[in-house]
Structure 1
Amino acid sequence: MLKLFYNAGSIALASHIALEETGVNYEGIRLNSAILEHTLPEYLAINPKGRVPSLVTEHGILTETPAILLYIAQRFGSDVFPPPADIFDLAQLQSFNSYLCSTAHVNHAHRMRGKRWVDESDSHAIKAMQAKVTRNMQECFALIEAEMFKGPWVMGEDYSIADIYLFSITQWMEGDSVDINDFPVMKAHRAAMLARPAVKYIVDKHAA
């Protein structure tokens, strides 16, 4: 059986939603954030990066959200969110997901994880990074709305793993002091996602 290791409030939400959408048999294993379980030896034996998500398969362990999402789509998602058959369309999908991974997620992480980039003792640098989080995230969502979101779903007419990934990123908007009402496309997309039973179920599970 597939096993997904996740923390509530993390980007692992995307992989969790994707698995639930497909109906595949899997086990979701929630790590205890209060004891930093993702940093303990037992979990580091699964994912030495000490981060989530991690997906344990019969072939091995996958980490990194774009890779896990594509794996789920290619192996189980044919009835829900099949990856594009056209090579260029698939590359565009991966381009969008890579932007979320390398830019939007990193911008968000500056709010809580400044010590990844500067010494923890450098409070001035950490505060400077935190001060830019809202503007940086606003710029990300503005670019997505103006140039990257095709509509009605991210890639156009077809629901895809890009929608799941984007939705999971938008869950951080309020915490990053970004008003979703300033981004009508994101607001409508969030509503459309929450109307999907599997999405609502996993969101509620992570919030419990």
Structure 2
Amino acid sequence: LAPLSDSFALAQVQEFNSYLCSTVHVAHAHGRRGARWADDAAAIEAMKRKVPATMAECFDLIEHKYLKGPWVMGEHYTICDPYLFTIATWLEGDSVDTGKLPRIMEHRRRMLARPAMEKAITVEGTQFG
């Protein structure tokens, strides 16, 4: 699930996953766990209001810079793909217009068509759009 024989490609995998965990996940968390960053109720509410915009900005960058092909890294499925899938399931709940993210939504459809995903969804009883 990672290009171990190509150090540059491996660095790109690490870059993408680092962006998801250090920027996108944090942008999402401001909407639900603002008290981690502020005690002031007005500041927490301001963070919540900002989530749709910050998440849209994050995913616009993914849509136009990071998503390189049918899979995040191009032609080959990597650990980046299930991670992006998971984080992208938050978009609707964060009030992001997914109509502006056709490549990410196609990635979601491609992920949902994978037999392993179908099995996991069945076992877990989870619903994804």
Q: TM-score, normalised by structure 2?
A: 0.91
Paired position in structure 2 for 1:87: 7
Runs of 4+ in 1 over 2 A off after TM superposition: 81-84, 200-204
Deviations 1:60-112 (A, max 9, x none): xxxxxxxxxxxxxxxxxxxxx34341111101100000000000000000110
Task: Letter of the 2:45 partner, please give it.
Answer: K
List runs of 5+ in structure 1 lacking aligned partners.
1-80
- Cα distance in 1 for partners of 2:47, 2:121 equals 29
- The yes-or-no answer on 1:99 pairing with 2:25 is no
8 Å contact from structure 2 (residues 2, 10) kept in 1:
no
Residue 197 and residue 83 in structure 1: after superposition, are their counterparts in 2 closer, same or farther (change >3 A)? same
List runs of 5+ in structure 2 lacking aligned partners.
none
Task: Letter of the 2:31 partner, please give it.
Answer: R
Q: TM-score, normalised by structure 1?
A: 0.58
Aligned ranges 1:51-200 → 2 under 5 Å: 81-119=1-39, 122-200=40-118
- Cα distance in 1 for partners of 2:92, 2:115 equals 23
- Cα distance in 1 for partners of 2:76, 2:117 equals 16
Report the 3-state secondary structure (helix = DSSP H, G, I; strand = E; otherwise coil) of the residue aligned with 1:137: helix
- Which protein has the larger Cα radius of gyration, Structure 1 or Structure 2? 1
Deviations 1:151-186 (A, max 9, x none): 011101100000111000001011000122220001
Deviations 1:31-87 (A, max 9, x none): xxxxxxxxxxxxxxxxxxxxxxxxxxxxxxxxxxxxxxxxxxxxxxxxxx3434111
Structure with bigger strand share is 1
Q: How far did 1:206 drift?
A: 5.5
Paired position in structure 1 for 2:126: 207
What value does the CA root-mean-square deviation take over the aligned residues?
1.4
Report the 3-state secondary structure (helix = DSSP H, G, I; strand = E; otherwise coil) of the residue aligned with 2:92: coil
Structure with bigger helix share is 2
8 Å contact from structure 2 (residues 30, 48) kept in 1:
yes
Q: How far did 1:118 drift?
A: 1.0
Report % sequence identity.
Answer: 56
